[in-house]
Chain A
Amino acid sequence: MHFFMLAVESWATRLKAGLARTREVLGTPLAHLFARQRIDEALFEELEAALLQADCGVEASGSLIAALRERVRSERIEDGGSLKRALKQALLELLAPLERPLDVSRAKPCVIMVAGVNGSGKTTSIGKLAHWLQAQGSSVLLAAGDTFRAAATEQLVAWGERNRVAVIAQPSGDPGAVVFDALGAARARGVDVVVADTAGRLPTQLHLMEEIRKVKRVAAKALEGAPHEILLVLDASTGQNALAQVKAFDDALGLTGLVLTKLDGTAKGGAICAIAKQRPVPLVFIGVGEGIDDLRPFVARDFVEALVG
């Protein structure tokens, strides 16, 4: 199947391979730009264009280029190679603060609630996360908190089977009740981590935003301190709306982290630059495929390396 094809490659190579394809598609390979001898206005413009096309946004791209110009002047950069290093450095300074490893040891059970807009990759990310957590030695239980979408429960149950972990579901149709149940089960079974799926929702649907706040409150009632993590799943192919999503879900729930999925495609997920500038919620994981081990902790250096090459 297609998602096993690249499984053996290391993450950096893999992400890089994805981005290399992008560069071909775009026809403006960054490497090609940097190979240029002279640093002139046209070069800055092309770099800015490359950032814009990675979804970094007008503001973040503009300020990255401004910082780069400043560096070129103050450090007397004259060749493409140094310019490339300078851009990487600027991106790294922007993105490194977002790095944060997931720590599930601070509570037992540690409750992770997963939220996001429709189709961003929540359920799949939970399937991968269960695998990752088990590989780290934690026992896992999943809560089928999407009681709305057709076959959402069946989808999560399938991931539960792949991971050989229990999935708590209910016919009730009330996501709060499912989560309440799951936390009870987790305590009774001495499970380390509970991951709760939720239905996709757009921030414009105020009643659904209210509903998910309620799920959070129910979790807190069922177990003090829960949920310990609230992760927002973002699709890397989303444009400037990604920032709006982070703001809306953060305002409603108080996010502890982000998961950026579908980075194995041609989209580069540059919206994370705008997010880093305007609402810096830590980026905990990235998704690089539909397979069970296609989840990676976010490492800013690798990300920048893959982006700039």
Chain B
Amino acid sequence: MLDNLTARLAQIAKRIRGEARLTEANISDALREVRVALLEADVALPVAKHFIESVRAKALGEEVVGSLTPGQALVGVVHRELAALMGEANVGLDLAVQPPAVILVAGLQGSGKTTTCGKLAKLLLGEKKKVLLVSCDVYRPAAIEQLKVVAAQAGADFFPSAVGEKPVDISRRALEHARTHYHDVLIADSAGRLAIDEEMMREIADLHGVLMPIETLFIVDAMQGQDAVNVAKAFNERLPLTGVILTKLDGDARGGAALSVRHVTGKPIKFAGVSEKLGGIEPFHPERMASRILGMGDILSLVEEAHAKVDLEEAKRIAEKVKKGKGFDLEDFKQQIAQMNKMGGVASMLDKLPARLAGQIDPAKLQDDRQFRRIVGIINSMTPQERRKPELIKASRKRRIAAGAGVPVQEVNRLLNQFEQMQKMMKMMKGGNLQRMMRGMKGMLPGMR
């Protein structure tokens, strides 16, 4: 997970330093590393090859001349090119038609179509649109029921369909219903299908023919491997796709499929799915995706995520305390740990850190969230007074707390030390300096060296 391209390129960049210009010879090592990184991120081989060739051409061209060190320039070219290939940022839905605007989703089995329908519905309801959902999946057991539940969760209208019906007939009736009931948007879910299943591919093309959707969205699992090019090509040939949604980006896959799909379809990636919950959809950020594929970390989204997920009230309360100079106590510390867990734990934050920082973390230790629970156990064994005033905790109290939590006394000591560091960090956070905060977190979290 952490064999980081940035780190490896930095090594190579050092070697290139001192040479006046980039040559075939001195960039070939670096480009080989880039190729490996792309393949490890699941970028399809032909796409990776194509990318490397275009970078090679660019790197040998003028853009490099005049920049400070050739090594830096090369890393820059790689990142810029990749981000450019990922397409534009914030390409939203195009629903500018005579209502109902129809959205059709398509993709492989289990890629996240039904969930994404619910997410889109929720998004559009937030824009005050009247939304109708319909399932054309008459194959998978309980697929229609799933969309019905999802529609209710989103608060959208649901058009019932049944297993015995033909998908084309369902879509025709749903469209009619949307028209007569003045829905702004009709979102049609479809069954998962393999690109080589001729009968099913014909079916989705027929559905498209009936619905005439303004948006035909291809739903892609971010964990998908090399086959992404073949599948995307096949869907793109059979359906006039208007965009792509990349799901399950909350996982730790590097998501090279995004590049493969972009490359073969040329269609914009419009959204990213980042949770199973219906609120878990975000605009797609090409820059960040490029960094993620290259393993360069994504400090930006880390910061945003911290904003979004951390309980604001709780954070405010703590910030207030810190500002007033009133002690940040062990109860707050416990809350912080809970917050951290909400953010998906340290492991998910790790992916978003730049190489330099991530390299300081020992992933082996990270999987182990027992340490978190132990900390909570120790704090729970303290009296409220001790939590507020940790300085009260001397030897005999330490022994009692250790016994209560079932840990050796050293662990209590370690926790108190970590807590002290945390207190220091809270002061830095007041200054709003993220770099310093990250440094401050070192040694405080389990697994950080």
Contact = CB atoms under 8 A, between A and B. Distances in A.
Interface stretch (B109-117, B119-127, B437-445): B109-117
Interface in A224-240: 235, 237-240
Contact of A262 (B109, B114, B347): B109
Contact of B225 (A206, A240, A248): A240
A117 B251 contact: yes
A197 interface: no
A25 B230 contact: yes
Interface in A164-220: 200, 202-207, 209-210
Interface in B214-234: 221, 223-228, 230-231, 233-234
B348 A204 contact: yes
B221 A52 contact: no
A52 B45 CA distance: 7
Interface residues of B, number: 62
A2 B197 contact: yes
A266 B250 contact: no
A120 B116 CA distance: 16
A241 B254 CA distance: 8
User: DSSP class of B's interface residues: helix, strand, loop or mixed?
Assistant: loop
B227 A267 contact: yes
A207 B376 CA distance: 14
Interface of A: 1-2, 5, 18, 21-22, 25-26, 49, 52-55, 57-58, 117-121, 127, 148-152, 154-155, 157-159, 162, 200, 202-207, 209-210, 235, 237-242, 244, 248, 251-252, 262, 264-268, 271, 290
Contacts of B224: 237-239
15 contacts: A2-B199, A21-B196, A58-B40, A150-B146, A155-B146, A200-B276, A202-B248, A204-B345, A206-B347, A237-B224, A238-B225, A239-B257, A242-B223, A262-B194, A265-B108
A241 B226 CA distance: 12
Contact of B251 (A202, A252, A264, A290): A202
A258 to B, nearest CB: 16
Interface string B264-277: 00000000000010
Contacts of B221: 119, 235, 237-238
Which of B145, B221, B226, B256 has most A Cβ within 10 Å? B226
Contacts of B248: 117-119, 202
Contacts of B227: 22, 55, 237, 265-268
Contact of B341 (A58, A203, A207, A267): A207
A202 B253 CA distance: 10
B435 interface: no
Contacts of A210: 369
Contact of A155 (B111, B142, B147): B142
Contacts, number: 181
B312 interface: no
B200 interface: yes
Given A207-B341, A239-B226, 6 more contacts: A18-B196, A25-B196, A58-B40, A121-B110, A202-B250, A238-B224
A272 to B, nearest CB: 12
B140 A290 contact: yes
B44 interface: yes
Contacts of A241: 42, 223, 251-254
- Among B146, B195, B227, B234, chain A packs the most CB atoms within 10 A around the CB of B227
A117 B111 CA distance: 11
B368 to A, nearest CB: 8
Contacts of B347: 203-204, 206
Contacts of B153: 150
B75 interface: no
Interface string B91-119: 00000000000000000111110100010
B182 interface: no
